Structure 1
Amino acid sequence: MLVDQSKSLKMGIAAKQCLHTSDFLYLDHTFHDGSDDLDLIQATQANREDLVTSILNSDPSQRFKADSQGRTALHWATENGYSRIAHLILSVQTRSQGTSDTGTLAKDCLLLLLDAQDERGQTALHVACNMRREDLASLYISLKASVNVSDHSGNTALHRAVRMNQETIALMLCELGADVNAVNELLWTPLHEAARTGNESIMAELIRRGSKLDAMTHNKMTPFLTAFFYYKIASRGSAYSNLESVWKTLVEAGCKLSQTDGHWTPLTAALSCDSSFIAAILLFNGCRVDKSGRWGRGILQDAFSCSEPMIVKLLVLLGYIPTPDEVSHCSKQIPMYSRVFTRLRGLGSSLHRDRQEVVRWLRERREAPPSLGECCRVSIRAAMNSATEDRSILANFKFLPIPVKLQQFLAMSDFTHYLVDG
């Protein structure tokens, strides 16, 4: 707190020296002079470089004037993409008044200008990121604009850069110390924004710098479930094409495997998107086996209708106990998958035959309860899931003081034995 007060006092003194007058007030990095004479702002909005140059030569302090929205000329130049005017505003030499340290004064004035916030709390860097002005954003970053200033919604420049899919700017901000775990008023982190856009390069950098993989928003969405939500609502023109890759990145980085928002878990989300690949990864890595799927029905039915048949077997081997009604429901679903459908699904597809085989296998399992070994496997994997706080258990099997064969059994290395022959 003392550091902040000292900084504010120093910046306030610098502002007064920069402005050469006591008529300007410094408050939250926003400047107001109480008059309607905002010539520099009007010249900037009109993109009149000649007028801007003339005004700055006669009165450099006009750089710090703000309009009724709390915006300086730099805000407006940034929003409109007037790069030349922005450079003119930033390059004005500050006149020194009785100070021996002109360089320090000029630097303080420049930082005041860069960090001035409008009525929404946005700095010029926020505006540059919002409007995808990468040239200006990189300029402000290079001039040491504060990278962790939050607007009134809690968004930092990193939030905005990631949301607008500006990869270069996001990486620059990270390199200069932007807080990768900053949260806005809705508790979104930059990683949530990266999951929303599906930018794997930004995700990898945020994760490398310690971004929290399981941070939850105000409505309890993790980055994993954020990717799922925006995949589901994506329009055809902005298809979210790399969902499985994003999910795989999060799982391999060590996100929780079963964290729920009250409606969805990673497993039910994967099944909803027909992603057998991710569902299998989650199950192999040790996620908890959900007892119910969508609309309160058993998850086995979702797995049967949405995924490869082998996911049904994997669920059962990992502890899911199907009811007779569920097996009957799966059997009734088979005629829905006609030969025409299976042919369209892919050359040589055996989906129809595999589903029939899975139903037969489920009926046999009803007659032959799981072995003691399978029961022990389910219990041990559940205990390991709890010990790792719901993260991947695969790397931990080798540390168990048991024979390699048993390690492989617990890791489901024998699962291919249960696969239906193609």
Structure 2
Amino acid sequence: MGIATKHCLHSPHIIHPSNTFNDRNENLDLIQATKANREDLVTSIINSDPSQTFKADSQGRTALHWATEYGYSRIAHHILSVQSRDRVTCDSGTSAVSLLDAQDERGQTALHVACNMRRENLASLYISLKTSVNISDRSGNTALHRAVRMNLETIALMLCELGADVNAVNELLWTPLHEAARTGNENIMAELIRRGSKLDAMTQNSMTPFLTAFFYYKIASRGSAYLNLESVWKTLIDAGCKLSQTDGHWTPLTAALACDSSFIAALLLFNGCHVDKSGRWGRGILQDAFSCSEPMIVKLLVLLGYIPTPDDLSHCCKQIPMYSRVFTRLRGFGSSLHKDRQEVVRWLRERREAPPSLGEWCRVSIRAAMNSASGDRPILANFKFLPIPVKLQKFLAMSDFTHYLVDG
């Protein structure tokens, strides 16, 4: 009777099959021996009948699939040793494909399984043996999709180095970059972007990587908090993603406001994103900005072309009492939130009395034209190339915006 080895204990989430059976069972095959973690029998069977390495069970799985599933590294090495010999033939007698490329009924290779089960040692072994890295399973997922989804950074980087398609799409049109945005792994994102990943690829639900990060941030549980959302967003903006691409419900700007991210909202606005006329629930986006972000975002919206309505002003006035002195003290010692919001309301009233200057209208028009010419991509770095005086370049780039922060 066999005894379970330490290889059975690799994952606490898997119930390994019993490795106790009658050794005199003449019908025992390679898959059974592998599941039972009987290294001695695996070696014996391979030596007597190497073609069994290609034998598949009812799930289309070979012994290598099962060795990978359970993390039996030594058995996987024994099975793969057959590949160093003369080519083995399948039961049909035809020339066999690489064992590493054999797919089960779900289309998964051993590398897919290694990534799914977080078997990094086996995944790196298969990659080093030059397995085909762009094979898709039945759902269209490549090994790179699975490695990124499981946050296997080293494996993902190895796959990229070996030529994995960074723009491969699965049946839901997810790319590896969508998966990286979902997990928030900035190192993987940076490598995918460096290798030409499409920043604005859209899923079946019309979500870009930017909005994918937003969605998974919003649904993340307290125990798995998505702590680096702003950093992920900044990575995408700096790389040149579209600034106003919508899924029909959200834009990057409204998503940033919904997450109280004044930094990203300001970055989007400075870089030339479209200034939406409406926010959530059909109300003006200025109302969302006043409720969810720093007061300066409200001023920035107005200076970039948003015209406040009477409803906007009324909403802002009603919001002021919500920010009591107790609340502002909870924000931290010396917080000026309450005072700043009062100042913004006063500034909005003044703006309603005095129309924008011709210079401001020209700035809005020129920035909109630059946004269109850039394909809705960041324009902040482009102002210095304009054949105009530096003072005008700074004016268009909103370098004078600090003048409005306090004084109005």
After TM superposition, the score normalised by the length of structure 1 is 0.87
User: Residue 314 of structure 2 corresponds to which residue in structure 1?
Assistant: 328
Hey, which bits of structure 1, 4+ residues long, moved more than 3 A?
93-97, 108-111
Q: How big is the shift at 1:124?
A: 0.2
The CA distance in 1 between the partners of 2:161 and 2:82, in whole Å, is: 28
Asked if 1:50 corresponds to 2:52, the answer is no
The count of corresponding residues between Structure 1 and Structure 2 is 378
Residue of structure 2 in register with 1:294 after alignment: 280
2:62 counterpart of 1:76: no
**57, 80, 97: which is aligned to 1:67?**
57
Aligned partner of residue 71 in structure 1, secondary structure: coil
1: CA distance between counterparts of 2:85 and 2:127? 24
| Matched AA of 1:81 | G
Judging changes above 3 Å, is the alpha-carbon distance between structure 1 residues 279 and 210 closer, same or farther for their aligned structure 2 residues? same
Match for 1:369: what amino acid?
P
Give the letter aligned to residue 256 of structure 1.
K
Q: How far has the Cα of 1:92 moved from its partner?
A: 2.6
Structure 2 partner of 1:85: 75
Distance 1:216 1:120 in 2: 25
1:200 and 2:186 aligned? yes
Q: Which amino acid in structure 2 is aligned with residue 258 of structure 1?
A: S
1:137 to 123, 133, 149: 123
Residue 286 of structure 1 aligns with an amino acid whose one-letter code is: G
Cα distance in 1 for partners of 2:362, 2:58 equals 70
Match of 2:168 in 1: 182
Asked whether 1:265 is paired with 2:255, we answer no
Distance 2:221 2:36 in 1: 37
- Comparing 345-354 with 156-165, which one deviates more in the overlay? 345-354
Change (3 A) 1:109 1:84: farther
Decide whether aligned partners of structure 1 residues 110 and 168 sit closer, same or farther in structure 2, where only a CA change above 3 A counts: farther
What displacement does 1:421 show? 6.3
Note the C-alpha offset of 1:230.
Answer: 0.1
Distance of 1:224 and 1:63 partners within structure 2: 44
| Cα 1:110–1:337 shift into 2, 3 Å | farther
Tell me which amino acid in the other structure corresponds to 1:183. Answer: V
Determine if the alignment matches structure 1 residue 360 to structure 2 residue 350.
Answer: no
In structure 2, relative to structure 1, the CA distance for the partners of 1:95 and 1:130 (3 Å cut) is closer
Consecutive unaligned residues in structure 2, runs of 5 or more: 1-26, 89-93
Percent identity of paired positions between Structure 1 and Structure 2: 90
Over 3 Å counting, the alpha-carbon distance change for 1:93 and 1:365 in structure 2 is closer
Shift of 1:339: 1.1
Counterpart residue identity of residue 316, structure 1: V
Q: How does 1:377-388 map to 2 (within 5 A)?
A: 377-388=363-374
Structure-1 residue corresponding to 2:203: 217
- Is residue 2:25 matched to residue 1:39? no
Summarize the Cα distance change of 1:89–1:356 in structure 2 as closer, same or farther, 3 Å threshold: same
Determine the C-alpha separation between the residues in 1 that align with 2:216 and 2:76: 36
Q: Distance in 2 between matches of 1:44 and 1:212?
A: 41
Cα distance in 2 for residues equivalent to 1:141 and 1:226: 29
**How many angstroms does 1:109 deviate by?**
7.9
